[in-house]
Structure 1
């Protein structure tokens, strides 16, 4: 029986091929305690792999090596599974929301989410329909739910990852409300069971946004509606640029202190891929003034909107923070009534999508238009002629009556 006594090899590798094998030594002992030493020196060449195969064939010809080779189990390599790259630390985000919800002055930091929640709820009232079952994903403290009326929604399910925030949700008494702790990345609802899904300033922390949109589409009934609001890519660009300039000057590099946000040009394609139709995507900007950069960062912490990226830097040096605050004030600061303030821009992307249904209006066939876009410059002339024709017809009808 063969037992391996020693083996040594030096191999230089590239992603394409083995370039050189300096030396390969196989030293083993047989039953007769006869030591056989084989040493092969292979020069650097493109056919190095062929030479190595020849060595293995020669060794296979020896009965001792054949027994060892046949008794070995071939390695089985499993194909790589398709995975989603996680950008955000969801567990850290839960802890941030819980910390914000348990603060004694939690209501002080609701000004931004209250405004966006009101604007999103106002869009529900534009749809002349009563929804039997609606879900508010990432409801927070009920920024959308508090504006929903029984005239539009019969039953509402408010969902959030933070149990403390769910306990603080305030809803109108006329609507039947149910509270559930739900992760936006894994929805527990049955397919085709919901009439309306809303989400206000929560889904920008989802790792698999296309997958979340597909789940929402699956949970909606035919002709169901999804309305959402997320932070856009231009959110907090003043804070991001100030921190980058300060770190670049002191450390020679930058760290991601501001989480990445979705661009408005990507939202439409993501909703289309998820199966939504009749899309409406628009953007709005809310500019809030703060006394200093540190007040802005403190309010973000109170909102539960601190950075939660996996590759985030866990600390910020004092001198870097002071320098960033000075840069922020110098580049974007404004002075009014003898007081200096800094603006913080929040870009809000609103989205609306419908689940396809046969009853929905369809676009007209190609070529059915009665007016060309080339004639837009003649629009006033066409309107005046149309008004003149209609007035002439009215006069003719009056003459006939007389």
Structure 2
């Protein structure tokens, strides 16, 4: 059984686009990736960006090819020196497959950067909904897409055949007047429940009311506003190339780690 309902994902994004999408997280991610690229001592001339919201990337990377995050990406092999997957990998049934396609689209020593939500995202909302549904209905239904921990997500790069893999994350906390304002924003982001196993009827008012009460009781600040956490994970890797540094084979080191640590402790250089 598939994990996600792609038709529901498309409907949610289309609804958000019609009503005016809330793209502040995508803007934050795009700003952060641009800052990282400024630190890379290289000029990229053929970038590609995979995103469901192309307007976020207009004018950011000159000459960039911006394309939707379809299951099969419309990318030619070896055509790009930079490939970005911008905050939609968490909705893909086969995230490794998406990364493999990007790697194949890269030239040797090309850079891949992928950003997605991590496992701590919406922890407050998930806990409140779980409590409310159990308390009101005595049961539990799938509501929030499973999101990987950073160690698991970092391993995706190696599985996709990328060299020099790095995974890091930070948590962005956004405050809302009420939990219902958060839910409205998630709708405007196109990030509402699209799990294949979700309930196919609207959530009852009693469940939503109890979730809002629990959320506010546990997390509201002195001003009455409630926080929502978004863990942003960035995966970085390079298409393999002979010029890249490679780890030494086990047993080939000329100095032991114990000796090096001992010298540091003794103040030796």
TM-score range normalised by the length of the shorter chain: over 0.9
2:232 is equivalent to residue 348 of structure 1: yes
Shift of 1:139: 5.0
Confirm whether residue 97 of structure 1 aligns to residue 10 of structure 2. no
Contact 1:276-1:355 at 8 Å conserved across structures: yes
Note the residue ranges of structure 2 that are not aligned, 5 or more in a row: none
Task: Tell me if 1:376 matches 2:269.
Answer: no
The 8 Å contact of residues 136 and 197 in structure 1, kept in 2 or not, is answered as: yes
What is the match of residue 260 of structure 1? 146
Query: How many Å separate the matches in 2 of 1:273 and 1:238?
Result: 31
- CA contact under 8 A between 1:118 and 1:144: conserved in structure 2? no
| Structure 1 residue 367 displacement after superposition | 3.5
Deviation per residue, 1:23-75 (Å, 9 max, x gap):
xxxxxxxxxxxxxxxxxxxxxxxxxxxxxxxxxxxxxxxxxxxxxxxxxxxxx
Give the whole-Å Cα distance in 1 for the aligned partners of 2:197 and 2:85.
Answer: 26
How many angstroms apart in 1 are the aligned matches of 2:128 and 2:263? 50
Equivalent residue pairs, number: 267
Give the deviation of 1:268 after TM superposition: 2.1
Unaligned residue ranges in structure 1 (runs of 5+): 1-84, 161-181, 387-402
Corresponding position of 1:129: 42
Distance in 2 (CA, whole Å) between partners of 1:345 and 1:367 is 45
Deviation at 1:141, TM superposition (A): 4.0
Verify the 8 A CA contact 2:67 2:74 in the aligned structure 1.
Answer: no
Partner of 1:156: 64
- The secondary structure found in structure 2 opposite 1:223 is strand
TM-score by length of 1: 0.63
Q: Secondary structure at the match of 2:64?
A: strand
Contact 2:54 2:67 in 1 (8 A): no
1:144, distance to aligned residue in structure 2 (A): 4.3
Q: CA 1:291–1:374 in structure 2 vs 1: closer, same or farther (change >3 Å)?
A: farther
CA distance in 1, matches of 2:259, 2:52: 48
* Secondary structure class of the residue paired with 2:155: helix
Partner of 1:215: 101
Q: 1:225 to 1:209 in 2, by over 3 A?
A: same
Pick from 296, 300, 318: which aligns with 2:182? 296
Structure showing greater Rg:
1
1:361 to 239, 245, 248: 245
2:213 counterpart (303, 326, 330): 326
CA RMSD of aligned residues (A): 1.9
* Matched position secondary structure for 2:66: strand
Displacement of 1:86: 2.1
Following TM superposition, where does structure 1 have runs of at least 4 consecutive aligned residues deviating by more than 6 angstroms?
none
